[in-house]
Structures are given as C-alpha cells and as structure tokens.
Structure 1
C-alpha cells in the first residue's frame, strides 16, 4: 500500500468567470495557474514519485506538465479521474444555478444528486476511489517499499476521494475545501487510510484569512477558485 498526493489542478481560465466549466474542452490555466504549476517542481523537490496520473482535461495536463518534464516521468491519463459530468449545468452561470432546487440538494444530500443529463456524485466517488486503489497497487515498488505517487484531478473528485479516506459519508463531503493547486495526502494501509495533509497550498496561514466571497454556508460546485478569488472550475 502506498501514499497518494492528491493535487487539484492549478487555477484555470474559468476559475473567475462565474461559469461552471465542467468538461468544457480546452479550458487551460491562467497566468497564476501557470505559475502555480511551475512552482510544483520546487514544492515537491525531494519527494521521489513512482508515477503521475491525471484527468484528461487540459487544465490538469498543463498543471502536471512542468513536474513530469522535470522528473522525466511520462504521465498516465485516466478518464476515471475526469471532472464531474455536470450535464445540462455545464457552461451555465453559478448565480443562476444557485436558484435551482437541485442546488440545495447538492449542499445537503449530494449522495442522492444526479446532474440533469449528467452524472451522479455517488458514481464520481466510486470511479475515483476505484482508480486510486488500482494505481496504489500498480505503483508498488519491486522491493516492497510503499510507493508515493501523484494524482491530479478536480475539486469535487478529490473531495470525494478524501471523504472515502476519512470514512465520511458523501453527504458530508461539502465540509471539505480543496483549492486550486492545493495538495492533500492520503496514505493507504491494509487496515485503514490515513489522511496526512488536507488543502495545503504552501501559502502559510494567510490562506485561512477571510477574503472576498468567503463566509457563506454553501459550498461552490466544483470547488471554487481558492482563497483569493471567487469563481468556478
């Protein structure tokens, strides 16, 4: 059993648009996101990685690219780690979506939610956790020592993996925060997972200070834009 570094993609061009990008193609990183991706090389210096896996969407590919190049590790692309299929909600403004009856269900009982013409959040968790468990075995080292590997995906996908690791019902996963370019770490063992780190952006305690758009009770679908901006993935 090994340790997975769960990396949410760096800040994207859509993060401050107020629109739910979802699986919209060709949504890349903005200037801040490119800086965040480049900084990962130094942030993870000294951590030997057995492998890199990422969602097929462009923003995840661009986030991992500098690290993959620096380490000489060809990344694996896996659809099981793709963004939630938000169906008919894709491309719509968040302000309008907050008026939908389904929005409150997402806040209070996400395990029961299926997005219109899209995906169930319970299915998202199942596919993502299955992928994590599979790669944890795949990257096992020849000498039997526990591997450390990196997975780059999206806010709600990573939150669902963390909820499973915490033994937390999916209906409580909105209590978790996963910002762009943040790192969360889970070590898997035969008995139970251990959550070693959560939403670490490497920014010290400044990230916990109240900022514009914070303080509400609703969780942003997709994970939001981080502590300095409002918006959507």
Structure 2
C-alpha cells in the first residue's frame, strides 16, 4: 500500500509530500516480490545519481538491479513512476531545502536553531546527488515543481509562525516580517548546503552550522528569555 501523501511536522501540522502516491501500485504480496521491488528502487537511485534523470534508461536500472525489463513492468509503469518511488523512500530524510525547524515552545530557541541547522546540513550531505536530480526534474516537470513549491511553502509557513511566536515573547525583532524573514533565512541555509555538498565547495560541517546559526540569531536579534 502506498504511504500517505502527507507527513506531519513536530507540532502535528501536515507537510505536503513530494510524491503523488496515487500513481504508485500496491506493494507486492510476496517476500520475493518485495525484495525485487526494493532492489529496483535502490538501483534506480544509483542510476539517477550517476547518470542524471534525463539520461537514465530503464535498461540501466534493470541491469543495476540484476533483473529483466519484464520484471520492472511488474512493479512500475515508467521511469517517472520509479522516480516517484525513489523520492518516497528518502523524502523525510532529505528535509526540504532551507527549512531549519524552530520550536516556539522551547525555552532555548538558539539551541534549537543550531540543532536544526546541523540536522539539515547532515541530511543534505547524505542526499546531495539526489538534491541535484530534484532540481533537474523540477526544471522540466511542472507538476513536480508545484509539489516542491507547496512543500517548501508549508515549511516556510511553519518557521514564520515560530518566528512570530518569538516576537510575541519579546525574544526577536518585532519589526521583521515573519514570512519574508523565514523565506530569506531558510533560503540562505539551503544555498549554503547546495554550494558545499552538491557543487563540491566542501565547507566543514561545523563551520556551516556555526555560520548559519549566527546569521539566524543576528538577523532575528534573538535575545535570551528572562
């Protein structure tokens, strides 16, 4: 059975999926079938990351999975569908770009910003090649681009609410527009990760975390709670 098309944030809000799971078939009913499908999904990720989405071929995926093209069509109808399955497997680990998580109920928001930035950078590093593939697919597929935009907007809205809460508690600069600030700061983190891990500039992880966290704190004029 396909997974839910939506996930939940830490406060229970729904986060749109990057995957239209309605197009995916029911999972195999046998252990052997499940292993074959899983092998195909693993192989597809390897091929997409190696060759790029546009240049990947079904025959390359089946060769990597050591199965026949006929077996492929038992589980998937197309390259587009198996790409959806790859994204379904990893989207929760990928963390949509630029979205460090602020918890407005935490009494030490600076520590939450630092921990969230670190988790995001680590996830991006694990999935850097696939993040490049997402950019490639978004450039050519309007439907996927819209799914990605909606997911990004949901995370930005969550961070904007957290920033507004910090402002209401007198901990952050209340002259800032929460939504625009969330977009700007989240985008900064996203681009730092992109240049370091996807484009190979290879900044040290600790330096990335320290710099991004200081910029968040300075931009918000974050103050300690009395």
TM-score when scaled to structure 1?
A: 0.29
Which has the higher relative contact order, 1 or 2, with Cα contacts under 8 A spaced 6 or more apart?
1
Structure index of larger Rg: 2
Q: Which has the higher strand share?
A: 1
Q: Which has the higher helix share?
A: 2
